[in-house]
Each structure stands twice: as C-alpha cells, then as structure tokens.
C-alpha cells in the first residue's frame, strides 16, 4: 500500500487535472475522500468520471451525479461518452496541452477508460483488481497525456463488504466471502433473484440455491456456500449482474 500512495503523490505533482473514476453502481462507495482532500490541497482541478454506466439505471444515478461537479457518465466498455470526456478535459485546460492523472479504487475501470480514450489497447486491463502495478503514461492525442495508476483506497479503510462489492478486492482473495455475499444479497436482492431466476426471500437460502443451481455440493449433498459466495461476487464484480 505505501508504494501505491507514493504513485498517487507523484501523479498529483505531475498532472494539472485529476480524474477520479467512480463505479456507477456504487458512486459514493468508490469515492476516495482522502485523495479528494489531497487534490484540493494541491490546488489541482478534479473531474469525476462515473464509469460502467451501462450497468445501471441512469435516472437513479443522475441524482447522485448532480452533487459531483464537474462530472459525467461514461461506459468505457461500450465507448459511450468518451468523446464528451475529451471535450471536457480540453475545456478544463482551456485548449492547452494537459497531463491528466487517473485515480480511483481498484477495478473501477481506469485502464479501460484510458483505452477507450486513446482508441487502442495502451493500458493493460484485467477484471482482477490491482492489475495495474505501476505508473503508465499514455498519449491520448497531441494535447492530452494521461497517467494511469494502481488502484488505491483510503489507508484506514477495512470495510470487507465495500471492497468485495466494488471489486477493490478480487472475489478469490476475500477472507470471508459468505459474509460479503450475504450482505450484497441483502442490498441487491431483487436484482440477484432476477439474474438467477430464484424466488427465495431469505438471503442464506438464496446463496444455497445458487450452489444447487450450479451443482456445487459438498459432503452429504449439502450446498457449497463458499463456492456460491465467491461465484456470486465474481459475477457482480465482472458486471454480469445488471
């Protein structure tokens, strides 16, 4: 973690504009208030970019977006909003050449955003959180240079549910997947039931039904809820559950 913060501080020195990439499914949860305070104290401009907008009802997310200024929605997966993003960056730089730092939680889609901006696979991407290991500088065009960074969350944050829900910690590395999965089911029950075609209301029963659905059983024919929890979290993190 300390090396990540070293990268963050370097980006804050080099970039004139900082983009904080947020997950449209968890806008407030993926805000890094610690970094936002640093950006403000350094006197740098901030632009909130709400990614993965293809996974949400934009009408509901719009209310939160209005509290973040300046901000815009994009879907780097579908290349939606990237032209608007370029225009916004140049508007903020008054048309001058500019270096833009890309910051945000792990797995919010920072590298995918850069690839959508540049129109090529310049920044390596992976669905696994923490894939970007160091600073990467990518020339978007003749006026925009972006710096990609490893994902980072606040130093004192120990919220396993939040990290599992947002994908900040990969589903395979979560210490208590059943707790995180059950918490996610409680929060997103309607969406999860619809995705798996389930009618159960009890969260533990839903997790068991997912195990039965995919024929993952342990000794005695009991459902493998550890597998079901990790499977559910992986599908959520990868955007399979819309």
Residues 142 and 54 placed together within one structural domain of the fold: yes
Tell me the pLDDT tens digit for each residue of 107-136. Answer: 888 888 888 888 765 554 444 444 345 678
What is the rounded CA–CA span in Å between residue 234 and residue 230? Answer: 6
CATH code of residue 41: 3.40.50.300
**pTM of the prediction?**
0.72
* Domain-located, residue 156: no
Residues 139 and 189 placed together within one structural domain of the fold: no
Tell me the pLDDT tens digit for each residue of 155-205. Answer: 566 677 888 888 778 888 888 899 889 999 998 999 999 999 999 999 999
What is the rounded CA–CA span in Å between residue 239 and residue 112? Answer: 14
Q: Which of 92, 113, 148 is a domain's end point?
A: 148
Domain extent for 111 = 2-148
Q: Output the pLDDT for position 124.
A: 47
């Amino acid at each position: 973690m300390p090396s990540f913060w070293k990268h963050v501080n370097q980006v804050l020195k080099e970039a004139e504009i900082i983009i904080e990439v947020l997950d449209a499914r968890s806008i407030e949860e993926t805000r890094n208030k610690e970094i936002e305070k640093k950006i403000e104290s350094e006197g740098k401009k901030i632009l909130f970019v709400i990614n993965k907008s293809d996974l949400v009802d934009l009408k509901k997310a719009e209310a939160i977006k209005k509290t973040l200024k300046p901000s815009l929605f994009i879907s780097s997966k579908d290349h939606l909003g990237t032209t608007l993003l370029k225009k916004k960056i140049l508007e903020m730089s008054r048309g001058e050449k500019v270096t833009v730092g890309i910051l945000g939680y792990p797995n919010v889609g920072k590298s995918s955003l850069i690839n959508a901006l540049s129109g090529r696979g310049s920044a390596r991407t992976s669905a696994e959180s923490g894939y970007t290991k160091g600073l990467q500088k990518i020339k978007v065009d003749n006026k925009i240079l972006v710096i990609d960074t490893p994902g980072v969350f606040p130093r004192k944050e120990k919220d396993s549910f939040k990290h599992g829900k947002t994908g900040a910690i990969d589903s395979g590395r979560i210490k208590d997947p059943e707790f995180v999965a059950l918490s996610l089911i409680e929060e997103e029950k309607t969406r999860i039931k619809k995705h798996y075609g389930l009618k159960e209301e009890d969260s533990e029963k839903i997790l068991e039904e997912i195990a039965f659905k995919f024929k993952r059983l342990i000794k005695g024919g009991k459902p493998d809820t550890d597998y079901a929890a990790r499977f559910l979290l992986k599908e959520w993190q990868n955007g399979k559950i819309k």
